[in-house]
Amino acid sequence: MTPSCILLRESTDAATFEAAVWGGVFNLRRDTSRVPAAVCRARTTADVVAGVELARARGWRVSIRSGGHSWAAWSVRQDAVLLDLGQLHVDHHDTTGNIKGPGPGWIDYDEATGIVSCPPATTGQTLNGVLAAKGRMFAGGHCPDVGLGGFLLQGGMGWNCKNWGWACEAVAAIDAVTADGEVVHCCESDMDMDIMDSDGTGPGTKAGDLFWAARGAGPGFPAVVTRFHLRTRPLLQLFHSVYVYPLAAFRAVLAWAIEAAPTADPDTEMVCVSSYSPGATVPTVLAHFTTFKPSLAAAKRALSPLDGHAARPPGATVAVFCQPTSLAAQYADQAAANPGPATHRYCSDNAYIRAGDDDDRTVVPAILERAFTTLPSRQSCALWFSMNPTSRRPGRACDAALSMQSDHYFALYAVWEHERDDAAHVGWVHDTLRAVEPHAVGSYLGDADFRHRTPKFWTDECAARLRDVRRAWDPDGRVCGFLGQGDRSGVDGLPVANN
| 350 shares its domain with 255 | yes
- Ramachandran region, residue 490 (left: φ > 0; alpha: ψ -120 to 50; beta: rest): left
Distance CA 357, CA 70 (A): 33
Distance CA 497, CA 138 (A): 35
Residue pLDDT, tens place only, 440-497: 999 999 999 999 998 999 999 999 999 999 999 999 999 999 999 889 887 777 754 3
Within-domain flag for 479: no
Query: How much is the pTM?
Result: 0.92
31 C-beta neighbours (distance < 10 Å), count: 11
pLDDT over 50 (residue 197): no
| 258 shares its domain with 401 | yes
Instruction: Please answer whether residues 22 and 76 qualify as being in contact, where contact means their C-beta atoms are separated by less than 8 angstroms.
Output: yes
Residue 498, pLDDT score: 40
Residue 203, pLDDT score: 36
| DSSP letter for each residue of 27-82 | -S---TT---SEEEE-SSHHHHHHHHHHHHHHT-EEEEESS---TT-TT--TTEEE
Instruction: Please answer whether residues 180 and 119 qualify as being in contact, where contact means their C-beta atoms are separated by less than 8 angstroms.
Output: no
What is the average pLDDT value for the chain, to the nearest integer? 90
Of 186, 213, 234, the one marking the end of a domain is 234
Which letter, b or e, does each residue of 216-241 get, where b requires 16 or more Cβ atoms within 10 Å of its Cβ? bbbbbbbbbbbbbbbebbebbebbbb
Q: Is 440 helix (H, G, I), strand (E, B) or coil?
A: strand
- Read off the pLDDT of each residue in 276-292 and give the average, rounded to a whole number: 93
Residue pLDDT, tens place only, 323-357: 999 999 999 998 888 776 678 999 999 999 998 86
Higher pLDDT, 285 or 343: 285
Of 35, 51, 84, the one marking the end of a domain is 84
Higher pLDDT, 195 or 223: 223
- Read off the pLDDT of each residue in 427-433 and give the average, rounded to a whole number: 97
Q: Which domain holds residue 226?
A: 92-234
| 189 shares its domain with 152 | yes
| 79 shares its domain with 177 | no
CATH assignment at residue 381: 3.40.462.20
Within-domain flag for 273: yes
Q: pLDDT band for 280, please (50, 70, 90 cuts).
A: confident
| 223 shares its domain with 320 | no
CATH assignment at residue 135: 3.30.465.10
Q: What are phi and psi of 111, to 5 degrees?
A: -60, -35
Distance CA 119, CA 91 (A): 9
| 289 shares its domain with 423 | yes
CATH assignment at residue 61: 3.30.43.10
| 406 shares its domain with 431 | yes
Of 195, 215, 234, the one marking the end of a domain is 234
Interstrand relation of 61-65 and 80-84 (parallel, antiparallel or unpaired): parallel
Within-domain flag for 142: yes
| 250 shares its domain with 387 | yes
| 228 shares its domain with 127 | yes
pLDDT over 60 (residue 301): yes
Amino acid at 272: C
Within-domain flag for 465: no
Residue 493, pLDDT score: 77
| 78 shares its domain with 23 | yes
